[in-house]
Chain A
Amino acid sequence: MISVHGLRKHYKVHKRPPGLKAALRSLFHRTYTSVKAVDGISFDIRPGERVGFLGPNGAGKTTTLKVLSGLLHPSEGEVRVDGHVPRLREEAFLKKIMLVMGQKQQLLWDLPPAETFELNRAIYDVPTLQYKQTLDELVGLLEIGDLIGKPTRQLSLGERMKCELAAALIHRPRVLFLDEPTIGLDVSMQATMRTFIKDYNEKYGATLILTSHYMDDVAALCPRVIVIDKGLLSYDGSLEALVQRVRPEKRVVLRLSEVVDASRLESLGKLVTHEAGTAVLQVKQDAVNATISRALSGLPVTDLTVENAPLEEVMSELFAENKARRLQTAESVPA
């Protein structure tokens, strides 16, 4: 459905030096620097997949999504979305896709969202019956019946984001690019959005790429993740395998009925946190069973769970690894 081959996107930035004289000179002689936002990435996505697109700030995620939706031309490389070359912005292509950006909105600010829905119906030439169906469904699932008649400017951020998503789906896009759709939303609103996005994907078999800095989104929605960092691909595979690779250790969480000396806990494994009746130990996977039985026999344990390391930690460790590797290669290159 989506194939990306050797994609590079280098922004050309016009450098304007400070000062009037320099500004005048730059009118005639412009100097450009180039920002390597995406620097050679490749991946393929099958129809109906939900893929999490992860990376630290400035990694090149938004840039890639903009290239995929035809807003930016690749500097190099091949990009195909359902057989179309996005750069050409063919009508058939634009009718198949949608890019939702948590930071940008398409809803008309002074009018109720219902007007934007209607506008999109007309622009995407959605048949009336299908429009009615889609709208009913969206209104029901997102619970926005009361909202779509109020001017957009009067809606809260979360309410607006729900309407924003509805507006993006009026034409039932087959491919959906979601760039931080849950940014700034509270936990329950995030959960609502997630459930809805998953339902949409399952119901219509839409292909979905999602970026988010909230790992809960990714864990709930994306069986597969692609990680990019400084414009380079650093991981492509299942989320589980990523956790296994970066942090194979498990966490044993113990709830204790009495205060226990830290040294007794440390003898069982690496003590991650220890406070008011709860201790978290990090242990190798093959040592989990032994640790559990030793803890149960030797400590006043009231409850015990085994967990993976939090995804946030896995990600920051991965990014730190990448950074260390970049520094190393930079040093090994003779100046």
Chain B
Amino acid sequence: MNARGLMRALPTMLRVSFAESVAYRAEMFVWVLSTTMPLVNMVLWMAVAKSAPVGHFGQADFVGYFLATFAVRQLTSAWAAWLINWEVKQGTLAMRLLRPISPLWGYASDNVAGFPMRVVVALPVVLLSIALVGAHKAVPQHAWQWGLFLVAVLGGWAITFLANVAIGALSLFLDSSQKMMEVWMVLFFVCSGYMYPVEFLPDGLRTVIDWLPFRYQMGLPVELMTNAHDLPTALGLVARQWAWVLGMGALAVGLWKQGVKCFAAFGG
């Protein structure tokens, strides 16, 4: 589909996806409950920091960090891998492939349309954080910080979504990509800053993690939300993040195209 046609189709696609996400709101809240891990981590780390701060993280810093983690997870999550896997198994991918638009736009629209509902979940948590630890530890302070934070949330979502597409596309080659997704999630938990701030890791490991995509999915937006970086550092990190967006985009689209070909050649 050409860009003009796409631009005309997208608003309707988003509107319908949004209507779907509203119809699914029960499932959505179950999902929200399953993402309460940051709150558990928060309590654990507060206990650790009770007598003395960990690094420069005191109890209040942990509250700000993990409530931000919760909010960012809401805003950047994607479930396209699961959806693709399921549609391949059910054979409903065929219905998408019959349409004159890449299924990837459909998946993206489904994921983006959940956004308003997620903001509704995230917002009270952010307000709570401000009330508990003060705005300076909970939300960006300057316009540039807000700007970079929003860019980083978008980037974090994009990497997450595209990685989902790449992993989902593997189910077009293999019997299932569910195992791959599990491996990815473990790496995400360990490397992204979801369980603990990445600055707690030893230097050597941090260098490795700076080259991996995971921190840019989660840690970076959280750090920007809690004002951890000055402008030059923040800009450098956001640039790296968007390099990952491009790289992951190329990988996802490449794997998807190859996957659809392989699928059609072997038998769907």
Contacts and interface: CB of A to CB of B under 8 A. Distances in A.
Interface of A: 9, 11-14, 16, 35, 37, 66, 69-73, 87, 89, 91, 94-95, 97-99, 101, 104-106, 108, 110-111, 115-116, 118-125, 151
B16 A125 contact: no
Max count, chain B CB within 10 A of own CB: residue among A14, A35, A73, A105: A73
Given A72-B264, A125-B8, 17 more contacts: A11-B267, A13-B267, A16-B175, A71-B94, A73-B265, A94-B98, A95-B100, A106-B98, A110-B20, A110-B23, A118-B16, A119-B16, A122-B12, A122-B13, A123-B99, A123-B101, A124-B99
A71 B16 contact: no
Nearest to B5: A125
Contacts of B100: 91, 94-95, 123-124
Contact of A123 (B9, B19, B266, B268): B9
Contacts of A11: 266-267
Contacts of B98: 69-71, 94, 97-99, 106
B18 to A, nearest CB: 11
Contact of B97 (A37, A89, A105, A108): A89
A274 to B, nearest CB: 47
Interface string B23-34: 110000000000
25 contacts: A11-B266, A11-B267, A35-B267, A66-B268, A70-B97, A70-B98, A71-B97, A71-B264, A72-B264, A73-B265, A91-B1, A98-B98, A104-B91, A104-B95, A105-B92, A105-B95, A106-B95, A108-B20, A110-B23, A111-B20, A111-B23, A119-B13, A120-B99, A123-B100, A125-B5
B29 to A, nearest CB: 15
A256 to B, nearest CB: 53
A77 B175 CA distance: 28
B16 A111 contact: yes
A57 to B, nearest CB: 17
A108 B18 CA distance: 12
A66 B91 CA distance: 12
B268 A118 contact: no
Contacts of B265: 73
Interface residues of B, number: 28
Interface in B85-107: 91-92, 94-95, 97-101
Nearest to A151: B23
Contacts of A16: 175
A12 B13 contact: no
Which A-B residue pairs are the 10 nearest by beta carbons?
A: A122-B12, A11-B267, A110-B23, A94-B100, A106-B95, A122-B9, A91-B100, A73-B264, A73-B265, A119-B16
A291 B16 CA distance: 66
A97 B99 CA distance: 9
A14 B266 CA distance: 10
A128 to B, nearest CB: 11
A101 B237 CA distance: 49
B176 to A, nearest CB: 12
Given A110-B23, A125-B9, A115 B16 contact: yes
B16 A108 contact: yes
Contact of B12 (A71, A87, A97, A118): A118
B267 A115 contact: no
Contacts of A95: 100
Interface in B210-268: 261, 264-268
Nearest to B14: A122
Contacts of B91: 104
Nearest to B24: A110
A72 B262 CA distance: 10
A72 B93 CA distance: 12
A72 B268 contact: yes
A125 B99 CA distance: 11
A15 to B, nearest CB: 12
Nearest to B12: A122
Nearest to A10: B267
Contacts of A151: 23
Contact of B94 (A104, A122, A125): A104
Nearest to A124: B100
